[in-house]
């Protein structure tokens, strides 16, 4: 029995090293959080669960978007409802979360008004995750991007390149690079780095105002290493894509990566603080 206890103690020590020793060194901000697929029947209750998990993993800040929805074709009513849910969740934990506005270029006039309501006149500090039935290289994105530039709001754009083909209107990193070239003063975050990250990272190399985000794909070894090698640590950010994913599997890609701690610090939060600092300071939020 003593032997067994000693063994369990040893195992626990190993896990503790991995679980606490690493994370405690970093201020972790998560760029990609949703209320979708999270237990709880209100935004506040769902947020309690997210914060409980974030606390277990040492994650300091969550950037929330899209509310309960993962709809690719949201109506204006859905957009407004989900943005309201995000604002309720953020209000419940103002020291732990920021909001990012959910818009659709298919409803451009509404989206511009919604940006003003939620970002210019409201508490939100970013745009996206943008998932809609128009690819993000479409001209309807331009007025939204101009609004975001004016408010220093970074834009998170969904991208994938699925082996069996994308959904109609689903954007790729190629589309985002095209948009980014039209708006060199805007800051873009390429959600999922296209999923097929070995191609996605290469596509992003030329677009210096686009950061690669590693959320929402399997915790494969090597993704963060390649992104840092090809783009520089200043252009890679951690996100989880909870509740479709866990905080844990996605953070593991960074915490387990063979990169220096200085690079991990940037990827896990330093880059987001740099990127969001103007928008946060403008609203009097701490960075």
Partner 1 sequence: MITDTNVTLSRWPFRRLDAEETPVLVAQLRQAGVTQAWASSFDALLHRDIGSVNARLADECRRHGSGLLLPFGAVNPKLPDWQEDLRRCAEDFRMAGIRLYPNYHGYALADPVFTELLRLATGYRMAVQIAVSVEDVRTQHPLVRVPLVDLAPLPETVERIPEARVVVLNWWSALRGDKLRPFANATRIYFDIATVEGVEGIARLAERLPPGLILFGTNAPLFSLQSAVLKMQESGLAEATKRLIFETNASGITRRTQP
Where does this chain bind partner 1 (CB under 8 A)?
A: 4, 7-8, 10-15, 17-19, 22, 37-39, 49-50, 52-53, 56-57, 160, 162-164, 195-198, 217-222, 225, 242-249, 251-253, 255-258
Burial letters 173-193, b for 16+ CB under 10 A, else e = bbbbbbbbeebeebbbbbbbb
C-alpha Rg value of the chain to the nearest Å: 19
Q: Among residues 187 and 193, whose Cβ is nearest to partner 1?
A: 193
Instruction: Classify residue 198 as left (phi > 0), alpha (psi -120 to 50) or beta.
Output: alpha
Cβ 161 to partner 1 shortest distance, Å: 8
> Residues 104, 248, 37, 161: is their CA dihedral positive or negative?
positive
Torsion angles phi and psi, residue 157, rounded to 5: -115, 125
Q: Among residues 162 and 281, whose Cβ is nearest to partner 1?
A: 162
Cβ 281 to partner 1 shortest distance, Å: 31
Cβ 209 to partner 1 shortest distance, Å: 26
Q: Among residues 82 and 196, whose Cβ is nearest to partner 1?
A: 196
Helical axes 173-182 vs 141-150, angle rounded to 10°: 60
Cβ 59 to partner 1 shortest distance, Å: 10
Q: Among residues 118 and 263, whose Cβ is nearest to partner 1?
A: 263
Cβ 18 to partner 1 shortest distance, Å: 5
Cβ 40 to partner 1 shortest distance, Å: 10
CA distances from 185 to 120, 146, 227 (A): 18, 9, 22
Contact predicate 147/163, CB 8 Å: no
Q: Which of 129, 152, 142, 285 is nearest to 213 (CA)?
A: 129
Q: Among residues 66 and 104, whose Cβ is nearest to partner 1?
A: 66
Contact predicate 140/106, CB 8 Å: yes
Q: Among residues 92 and 248, whose Cβ is nearest to partner 1?
A: 248
């Amino acid at each position: 029995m003593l032997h067994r206890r000693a063994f369990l103690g040893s195992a626990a020590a190993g896990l503790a090293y991995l679980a606490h020793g690493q994370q405690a060194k970093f201020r972790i901000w998560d760029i990609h959080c949703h209320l979708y697929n999270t237990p709880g029947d209100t935004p506040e209750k769902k947020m309690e669960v997210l914060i409980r998990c974030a606390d277990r993993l040492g994650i300091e800040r969550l950037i929330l978007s899209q509310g309960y929805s993962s709809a690719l074709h949201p109506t204006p009513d859905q957009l407004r409802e989900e943005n309201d849910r995000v604002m309720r969740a953020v209000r419940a934990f103002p020291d732990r979360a920021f909001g990012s506005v959910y818009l659709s270029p298919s409803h451009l006039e509404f989206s511009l008004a919604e940006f003003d309501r939620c970002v210019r006149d409201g508490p939100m500090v970013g745009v996206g995750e943008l998932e809609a039935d128009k690819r993000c290289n479409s001209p309807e994105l331009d007025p939204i991007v101009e609004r975001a530039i004016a408010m220093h709001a970074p834009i998170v754009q969904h991208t994938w390149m699925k082996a069996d083909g994308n959904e109609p209107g689903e954007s790729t990193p190629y589309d985002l690079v095209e948009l980014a070239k039209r708006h060199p003063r805007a800051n873009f975050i390429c959600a999922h780095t296209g999923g097929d990250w070995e191609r996605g990272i290469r596509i992003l190399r030329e677009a210096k105002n686009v950061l690669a985000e590693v959320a929402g794909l399997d915790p494969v070894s090597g993704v963060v290493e390649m992104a840092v090698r090809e783009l520089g640590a200043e252009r890679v950010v951690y996100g989880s894509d909870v509740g479709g994913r866990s905080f844990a599997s996605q953070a593991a890609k960074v915490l387990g990566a063979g990169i220096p701690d200085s690079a991990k610090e940037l990827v896990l939060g330093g880059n987001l603080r740099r990127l969001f600092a103007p928008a946060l300071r403008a609203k009097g939020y701490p960075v």
